């Protein structure tokens, strides 16, 4: 167990809880490092047949830690960005089905975290959004995966507006499997789905997931790498620094295109 990410095994289900509610479960370095270690740990434990990812408090995940990022120099900031990107992309490397139980705000990397899961369930009060262009960067992993998976309309709406959308709207647009009214119902629904999955043969579940991963890798090709190169040019722009400063100062950013 590591600080900010709780992992609890219940029968054949691994329950992973982002537990940093005072920062709305923003992706700190320790959270990312712990997430990155999980695929190998699950691979080695055939007893685990399904994973549920959820958040503590009012947020599922508020994305990258904008405060941590603001304090870093350029080289350290890029290392942090790469760490977050890798942690979010590697959610797809979990060797068993993963259920996102979205209990609240899922913004920026929070929406991407849900996107990397096999099932997306949400409480009706949850909201979603790719807010990155609003702080001067782009949601590289989400763009590539949304386009890869045929969600062009969703990508345009989320990426270019950087706005926040309700769970009901996200369900209408095909992003969510199911929306429920309360946190209790969300927990029960995720648990029932996980229990149903866990009745099945462990090797078959892992084989089915591997086939999905192979096809996803074929369709992604080197697009991620090329998108990262595009993204990298943004990280030290005046607009990106302004986006981070404006967030810390709780005011709207003033962008100048530099």
User: What number of other Cβ atoms are within 10 A of residue 151's Cβ?
Assistant: 18
70 near ligand COA (CB under 6 A): no
Helix (H, G, I), strand (E, B), or coil: what is residue 226? helix
Which range in 129-137, 141-149, 205-213, 223-231 contacts ligand COA by CB under 6 A?
129-137
108 binds ligand COA (CB under 6 A): yes
Q: Does 83 bind ligand COA (CB under 6 A)?
A: no
Tokens (6 digits) for 200 = 């099945």
Q: How far is the CB of 128 from ligand COA (least distance, A)?
A: 11
Is residue 71 flagged as an active site residue? no
Phi-psi region of 257 (alpha: psi -120 to 50; beta: other; left: phi over 0): left
Of the residues 26, 56, 91, 100, which one makes contact with ligand COA according to CB under 6 A: 26
Contact between 124 and 181 under an 8 Å Cβ cutoff? The reply is: yes
Considering the rule CB under 6 A, would residue 102 count as an interface residue with ligand COA? Answer: no
Residue found by looking up tokens 């055939």 in the block = 46
Question: For ligand COA, which stretch binds (CB under 6 A), given 8-16, 103-111, 174-182, 210-218?
Answer: 103-111
Q: Identify whether 41 is a catalytic site residue.
A: no
Strand runs labelled E in the chain? 5-10, 13-18, 50-55, 59-61, 98-102, 105-107, 119-123, 127-129, 165-166, 178-180
Does 232 sit near ligand COA (CB under 6 A)?
no
Please pick, among 8, 74, 132, 228, the residue that the annotation labels catalytic: 132
- Residues recognised as catalytic: 112, 132
- Which residues lie near ligand COA (CB under 6 A)? 23-24, 26, 58-59, 62-67, 105, 107-108, 131-132, 135
């Amino acid at each position: 167990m590591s600080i900010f990410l709780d992992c609890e095994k219940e029968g054949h289900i691994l329950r992973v809880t982002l537990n940093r509610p005072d920062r709305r479960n923003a992706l700190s370095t320790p959270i990312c490092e712990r997430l990155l270690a999980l695929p190998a740990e699950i691979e080695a434990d055939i007893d685990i047949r399904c994973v549920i990812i959820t958040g503590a408090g009012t947020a599922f995940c508020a994305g990258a830690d904008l405060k941590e990022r603001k304090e870093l120099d350029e080289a350290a900031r890029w290392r942090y960005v790469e760490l977050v990107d890798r942690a979010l992309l590697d959610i797809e490397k979990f060797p068993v089905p993963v259920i996102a139980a979205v209990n609240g705000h899922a913004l920026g990397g929070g929406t991407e975290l849900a996107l990397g899961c096999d099932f997306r369930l949400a409480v009706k009060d949850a909201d979603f959004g790719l807010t990155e262009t609003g702080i001067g960067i782009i949601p590289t992993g989400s763009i590539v995966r949304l386009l890869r998976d045929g969600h062009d309309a969703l990508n345009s709406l989320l990426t270019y507006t950087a706005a926040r959308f309700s769970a009901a709207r996200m369900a209408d647009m095909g992003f969510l499997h199911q929306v429920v009214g309360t946190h209790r119902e969300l927990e029960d629904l995720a648990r029932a789905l996980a229990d149903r999955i866990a009745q099945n043969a462990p090797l078959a579940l892992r084989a089915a997931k591997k086939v999905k991963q192979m096809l996803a890798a074929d369709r992604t090709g080197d697009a991620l790498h090329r998108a990262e190169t595009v993204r990298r040019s943004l990280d030290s722009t005046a607009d990106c620094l302004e986006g981070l400063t404006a967030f810390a100062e709780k005011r709207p950013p003033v962008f100048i295109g530099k």
